[in-house]
Amino acid sequence: MEYNKFLHKGALALAMMGVTVSAAAQSSDKASRLSLGGYGEAVMTRNFYSDNIYRYTRASDHKDDPSHGRFDLPHVTLNIGYDFGHGWTMGSEIEFEHGGTESAVEMDADEAGEYEAEIEKGGEVALEQFWINKRFGQGEFNIKMGEIVVPVGATNKYHMPTEFFTCYRPEGENTIFPCTWHQVGISLWGRVNDWRYEVQFLSGLDSERFGSQSFAHYGANSPYEFKIANNYAASLRIDNYSIKGLRLSISGYYGSTFKNTLRSIGTTYNKVKGNLAIGSFDFMLDRWNWIVRGNADYAYLSDHAAITTFNKNFPTHSGQDGSPSKHQPVAKNAFAVGIEAGYNVFSQMEKLKDTQKLYVFGRFEKYNSYAAGRQKSAYGWCDNTRVALGLNYYPVKEVVVKGEWSERFLKSGYNNEPSVSIGVAYCGWFL
């Protein structure tokens, strides 16, 4: 969504989009400085492929397995913002993922189907954002400190359900990166004419939590009541709005990921750094009743072989001093590219074009969480091509009803994975 559309939304808009507006300058009433809102998603899916844990390692045995269905609440959030005046604002976001408290039981396909408890983050709820922002001038320069979104890639920056067509967040970036990626850190950001910039200083990710099918997705999580910061990292994002209706963006990340743990490493791994470098380009065109979005992301991890050995050597059973590691091989490289386009067919209907929208869309994605590495040949099922076709119906601006057919095309030797999903979502500012 474009920058100018949110200038009147106050501190909540700042929380979601990084835009600062002084409500105190508009009114001295404290209630007018408060922003309250959020977003939520509910999805029903039928997957026409096997959910057996051996569907990749023994693909031929499970090609005729029955379909399975799922109901899910991917994300439900409550956002609270406040403008203290004199350029000081606060933003926060409390999120419930999958309707729970981030504590779950999962079956691990790389651990012979073993049931294991998974704690993604200490605490009963996920506080995805909590920060204090100080604006200087008219917003050309800002300092933000606290739990902040790391805007690397398109999905992390634009992750609300009204900012993508599919029922779930785009798969590629959501697979290989933390998503929504949030960490405690310091951000310097602002907007000058048609340019917006953001530079962040953060704690490093944790390579113990990297995996073959997820690459760095879980690296920002911590099983403790705090985030370990033995290593540090930096991120950068630059957006350009020079052409009407078009946003062009580049973003990147660099930091060390190994030894970001409480455990004593010993001398064997003294030279291992686990440096993670990410480069990303994304864009959005919103014009002529079309919305077109695209992304291209590439990641490189040094010392991936040593990290794989280190992670896999930990015991997996409780009572044996186990680690939060997934005990899986970790790739040297991962990538994700995607493009989606939707046309508002109601724009051609005189009675509907000013009140409702109906987008007919298509999306194509190609991503691989194990694009290169010591055991690449054994992880061909991490190489995915996904196609989706569907509809987005907006009866009102803040509510969208989604429906899609999709299919995940895997390499030869594995079984493709078609599915049908129906969802409803909202994104709104209540105060």
Give the CATH number of the domain where residue 203 resides: 2.40.160.10
3-state secondary structure 218-281: CCCCECCCCCCCCCEEEEEEEEECCCCCEEEEEEEEEEECCCCCCCCCCCCCCCCCCEEEEEEE
pLDDT band at 221 (very low <50, low <70, confident <90, very high): confident
pLDDT score at 26: 44
Q: Which of 81-90, 93-102, 193-202 has the lowest mean pLDDT?
A: 93-102
Residue type, 60: S
Residue 296 DSSP SS3 = strand
**2 phi-psi bin (left φ>0, alpha ψ -120 to 50, beta other):** beta
Enter the tokens of residue 24. 């105190």
pLDDT score at 123: 36
Task: Tell me: pLDDT of 17 over 50.
Answer: no
In angstroms, the CA 363 to CA 165 distance is 8
In angstroms, the CA 9 to CA 19 distance is 9
pLDDT score at 228: 86
pLDDT score at 127: 85
Q: What is the mean pLDDT of residues 140-166?
A: 97
Q: What is the mean pLDDT of residues 91-95?
A: 94
Mean pLDDT of the chain: 86
Residue 376: partners with Cβ closer than 8 Å, 6 or more residues away? 331, 370
Question: What's the structural domain count of the chain?
Answer: 1
Enter the tokens of residue 414. 């594995």
CB atoms within 10 A of CB 4: 9
Check if the beta carbon of residue 53 is closer than 8 Å to that of residue 25: no
pLDDT band at 261 (very low <50, low <70, confident <90, very high): confident
Around 270, how many Cα atoms within 13 Å sit in the side-chain half-sphere? 2
CA distances from 101 to 104, 286, 347, 411 (A): 8, 36, 41, 35
In angstroms, the CA 13 to CA 3 distance is 10
In angstroms, the CA 244 to CA 2 distance is 10
CA distances from 19 to 10, 119, 144, 198 (A): 8, 33, 12, 12
Check if the beta carbon of residue 194 is closer than 8 Å to that of residue 241: yes
Q: What is the mean pLDDT of residues 271-298?
A: 97
Q: Which of 43-57, 368-382, 414-428 has the lowest mean pLDDT?
A: 368-382
**Domain limits at 269?**
3-429
Task: Tell me: pLDDT of 281 over 70.
Answer: yes
In angstroms, the CA 183 to CA 261 distance is 16
**327 phi-psi bin (left φ>0, alpha ψ -120 to 50, beta other):** left
CB atoms within 10 A of CB 24: 18
pLDDT band at 318 (very low <50, low <70, confident <90, very high): very low
Task: Tell me: pLDDT of 108 over 90.
Answer: no
Task: Tell me: pLDDT of 194 over 70.
Answer: yes
In angstroms, the CA 10 to CA 134 distance is 14
Enter the tokens of residue 341. 């386009």
Q: Which of 50-59, 171-180, 263-272 has the lowest mean pLDDT?
A: 263-272
H or E element at residue 15 = helix 10-17
Check if the beta carbon of residue 172 is closer than 8 Å to that of residue 297: yes
Residue type, 317: H
Global confidence as pTM:
0.86
Enter the tokens of residue 413. 């030797």
In angstroms, the CA 121 to CA 223 distance is 5
Task: Tell me: pLDDT of 65 over 60.
Answer: yes
Residue type, 280: S
CB atoms within 10 A of CB 40: 18
Which of 324, 331, 323 is closest to 307 using CA atoms? 331
Residue type, 194: D
- Give the pairing of strands 75-85 and 34-47: antiparallel
Residue 431: partners with Cβ closer than 8 Å, 6 or more residues away? 12, 31, 34, 35, 36, 37
Residue type, 136: F
Check if the beta carbon of residue 360 is closer than 8 Å to that of residue 342: yes
Mind giving me the DSSP string for 346-385?
Answer: GGG-TTTTTT-EEEEEEEEEEEEEEEESTTGGGGGGGEEE
